[in-house]
Amino acid sequence: MRVRIELRRNKGEWIARFRKQTGVVGQLSTGRKEVDGRSVLYLHLSQVERKCGLDAEPSPILFEPRITQVDGDEFRVMGWERVDLAIHLQEWDCEIVPSGCVGYR
C-alpha cells in the first residue's frame, strides 16, 4: 500500500504540530527482525520516493506497530523505535496515497 507518513515524535519527544510537517512517501511494508534475542515485527517504508531529484531519505522503522486510530484514508500507528542505544515511543500519522498522484506534498 502506498502511503505518506509524518512522524509525531523525534527521539521520543513530541514534534510541534504548528511546524510544517514533511512527509515521506513509499510502500508500507512489514517484516521480522531479531532484536535482543527475540523476533519482533516491524513496519517500514520500502521504495521511498525521492523529492525533487534529491536522494531518498532512509525509511524510519517502527517496531511492534499497533494501529491506534483510523479515519477514512488516514490512520495512526504507534510502536517503538531504536535511536543509538535508546528505545523511544513513536507515532506515525499515515495517509493512503492514490497510485496516480505524483509529487504528493
User: To the nearest 5 percent, what fractions of the chain are helix, strand and coil?
Assistant: 0, 60, 40
Separation in Å, CA 69 to CA 11, 33, 56: 22, 25, 28
CATH for 2-96 is 2.30.29
Answer yes or no: is pLDDT of 33 > 50.
yes
Per-residue pLDDT, averaged over 8-18, amounts to 72
Place of cell 511494508: 29
Residue 96, all three cell numbers: 493512503
pLDDT band at 71 (very low <50, low <70, confident <90, very high): very high
Q: Give the C-alpha separation, 46 to 54, whole Å.
A: 17
pLDDT over 80 (residue 49): no
Tell me the residue length of the chain. 105
